[in-house]
């Protein structure tokens, strides 16, 4: 597609079509790589879970917004239901729970023909562990279903049904294996029921820790402000104009992408190619000159972890207060924990998402 675009530079519509297909293919490739990395960690028993407050209703809303566009493309009826929810403020790894539910829902959408129905239900049931709430997550569809023989292999990595309808659906055969690995790591249970040509039902059972009032209050305070095209979003962008950032990145292409995003949002950007150079630039700067540091993690001379520790210990008037945001391709929970331990405030995963980057800067710079 990039070759076709290069040969048709005088045809804007063709170039736009090529760019859209490049974007779609890149997203698919990224998903595939992420799945393989996740599966590798699960197989080695190295998957790590975070413990942080989250709201079950907010999580359901988030999952709905992520999965609905694909369902709409196939004209599906996508329903989200809650039953008997008593405890909505919980503690656990919301990101991994989101990943399980998205895997199950997108899988249902994939294998349900146009005009079908997919239903996701979250039900709280009687629990037996003090301080924990028990939940049953159910995802069911009226799609192509599975043979009874294949049900024995549904959670085996890279397994796909030997069926003409299934073969025409894009996938790696890893989604269900990853879902099972995460659920197992969370000390839960996942089951599947299916009938050929009638549909499938996946049932996940989990015990989740109930958040105490202090954790709930802290979680509410830490929520992202909203960035969008509203009057409030425009005001935020105006507040960003002229703010000076230090961008630390050793890869020139990544540097160009990040710099373009930031300057288009109105920021002024100074650049450093490694942690040592960034440390020197920060230490030599006047107090208040930089409002935030965007720090790559893997760099020559001095990596992002060491540079952040040195910044925090530098004695500069802003050493303890300046927001340091990790820019990282390492999006696993343990990598994020290591970044926070080094003194970083937050992270943005690569490839950089424009909205996510702006929201993270907005939150940490208190704009």
* pLDDT for the residue 331: 56
Give the mean pLDDT of the chain: 86
Q: In degrees to the nearest 10, what's the CA dihedral of 149, 152, 156, 159?
A: 10
In which residue ranges of the chain is pLDDT below 70?
158-173, 215-237, 330-335
Instruction: Say if residues 123 and 82 touch (Cβ distance below 8 Å).
Output: yes
Give SS3 for 147: coil
* pLDDT for the residue 250: 92
Which residues are CB-contacts of 33 (< 8 A; sequence separation ≥ 6)? Answer: none
316-351: buried (b, 16+ CB within 10 Å) or exposed (e) per residue? bebeeebbbbbbbebebbebbebbeebbbbbbbbbe
Tokens for 248? Answer: 């630390």
Select from 26, 42, 24 the least CA-distant residue to 332.
Answer: 42
Phi, psi of 252 (to 5 degrees): -65, -35
* pLDDT for the residue 223: 45
Select from 2, 26, 113 the least CA-distant residue to 352.
Answer: 26
Instruction: Say if residues 79 and 120 touch (Cβ distance below 8 Å).
Output: yes
H helix runs in the chain, sequence order: 2-7, 12-43, 56-73, 94-110, 164-167, 175-185, 213-221, 231-240, 252-264, 275-284, 304-312, 333-341, 354-364
In whole angstroms, give the CA distance from residue 361 to residue 367. 8
Of the chain, the percentage scoring pLDDT greater than 90 comes to 49
* pLDDT for the residue 270: 97
* pLDDT for the residue 225: 41
Instruction: Say if residues 338 and 305 touch (Cβ distance below 8 Å).
Output: yes
* pLDDT for the residue 157: 74
* pLDDT for the residue 218: 60
Instruction: Say if residues 188 and 206 touch (Cβ distance below 8 Å).
Output: yes
């Amino acid at each position: 597609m990039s070759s076709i675009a290069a040969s048709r530079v005088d045809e804007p519509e063709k170039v736009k079509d090529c760019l859209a297909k490049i974007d779609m293919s890149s997203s698919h490739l990224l998903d595939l790589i992420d799945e393989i990395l996740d599966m590798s960690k699960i197989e080695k028993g190295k998957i790590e879970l975070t413990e942080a407050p989250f709201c079950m209703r907010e999580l359901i809303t988030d999952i709905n917004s992520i999965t609905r566009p694909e369902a709409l493309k196939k004209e599906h009826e996508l329903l989200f239901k809650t039953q008997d929810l008593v405890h909505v403020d919980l503690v656990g790894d919301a990101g991994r729970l989101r990943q399980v539910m998205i895997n199950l829902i997108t899988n249902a959408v994939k294998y349900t023909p146009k005009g079908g129905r997919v239903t996701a239900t979250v039900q709280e049931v009687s629990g037996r562990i003090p301080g924990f709430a028990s939940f049953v997550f159910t995802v069911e569809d009226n799609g192509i279903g599975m043979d009874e023989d294949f049900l024995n292999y549904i959670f085996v990595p890279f397994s796909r049904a030997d069926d003409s309808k299934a073969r025409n659906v894009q996938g790696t055969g890893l989604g269900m294996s990853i879902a099972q690995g995460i659920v197992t790591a969370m000390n839960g249970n996942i089951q599947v029921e299916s009938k050929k040509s009638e549909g499938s039902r996946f049932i996940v059972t989990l015990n989740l820790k109930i958040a105490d009032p202090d954790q709930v209050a802290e979680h509410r305070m830490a929520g992202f402000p909203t960035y969008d095209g509203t009057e409030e979003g425009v005001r935020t962008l105006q507040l960003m104009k002229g703010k000076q950032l230090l961008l630390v990145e050793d890869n020139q292409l990544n540097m160009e992408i990040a710099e373009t995003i930031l300057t288009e949002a109105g920021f002024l950007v100074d650049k450093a190619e490694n942690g040592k150079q960034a440390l020197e630039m920060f230490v030599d700067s006047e107090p208040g000159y930089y409002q935030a540091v965007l720090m790559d993690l893997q760099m020559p001379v001095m990596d992002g972890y060491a540079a952040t520790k040195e910044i925090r210990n530098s004695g500069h008037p802003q050493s303890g207060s300046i927001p340091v945001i990790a820019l990282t391709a390492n999006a696993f929970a343990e990598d994020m924990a290591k970044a926070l331990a080094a003194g970083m405030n937050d992270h943005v995963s690569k490839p950089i998402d424009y909205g996510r980057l702006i929201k993270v800067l907005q939150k940490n710079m208190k704009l």
